[in-house]
Amino acid sequence: MANPSTTKNEPVAAKAPAQPITVMSVLAPAIGWLIPGAGHLIQKRWIRGLLLMSSIVIMFVIGLLLEGHVYQPNGGDILDILGFVGDVGAGGLYILSQAMNWGHTAISHATADYGTKYLIVAGLLNFISVADAYHIAIGKKP
Amino acid sequence: MTLSHFSAALLFSVFASVVFGITQRNNTRDQIRYGLYCFAMFVGGVIVAGWVMWILRR
């Protein structure tokens, strides 16, 4: 006779308990997105926060100085939409560039295309930084 | 501002490696090691890709 407690459909391991939602677990990613590295700084990870902030901000600024293109939300083309998703990761830097009308020149030389890639990657790196700030806030990472 | 192809790739490698090192490892020693590893891989990849393109062009 089969034991009813060991059926095949039953999960082997119990589910891990969900992480409690704390103020810091919401605030750190939000602040970290808006100001790169600030998600670490408000959790007193000073060196990590400053390194992340300087890396992402300098990368974004170099992208602008290389006359890179900042994508708009209503690009239409799928590649433009992907570019926008990358750019918007930079948070406050993207908002500032839109407000100041930066990065809207036509790409006219090879290094300007590098500038566009710098801008996108700065945003993508900030997404990673935001995820890291969240992991610190929930105690998953020291 | 004007950068050569190599210096642009080099700067890119530095900043990306810093972020990868900090976010992908837990303690300081591992973060530095992983950052340096990423930087070496980025720069090595650039040099290898450069030689491959040079060979293809001949």
pLDDT digit string (tens) for A113-126? Answer: 899 999 999 999 99
pLDDT of residue A1: 45
Identify whether the C-beta of residue A50 lies closer than 8 Å to the C-beta of residue A36. no
pLDDT at A105 over 90: no
Q: Mean pLDDT, to the nearest integer, of A68-91? A: 91
Question: Is the CB of A125 less than 8 angstroms away from the CB of B8?
Answer: no
pLDDT of residue A20: 76
What are the residue boundaries of the structural domains of chain A, listed by start? Answer: 22-137
Q: Mean pLDDT, to the nearest integer, of A41-53? A: 97
Identify whether the C-beta of residue A65 lies closer than 8 Å to the C-beta of residue A115. yes
Question: Is A108 touching B (CB cutoff 8 A)?
Answer: no
ipTM of model = 0.92
Instruction: Give the mean pLDDT of chain A.
Output: 88
CA–CA dist A94, A62 (Å, integer): 14
pLDDT of residue A2: 47
0.80 exceeded by pTM? yes
What are the tokens at A36? Answer: 């790169």
- Of the two residues B24 and B2, the one the predictor is more confident about is B24
pLDDT of residue A9: 54
Please tell me which residue of chain A has the smallest CA distance to B3: A111
Inter-CA distances, B12 with A26, A30, A43, A46, Å: 30, 25, 27, 23
Q: Mean pLDDT, to the nearest integer, of A59-67? A: 95
Question: Is the CB of A55 less than 8 angstroms away from the CB of B19?
Answer: yes
| Residues from chain B contacting residue A141 (CB–CB below 8 Å) | 26
Contacts within 8 Å (CB) and 24+ apart, A21-24:
A22/A137, A22/A138, A24/A137
- What are residue B27's phi and psi, to 5 degrees? -110, 160
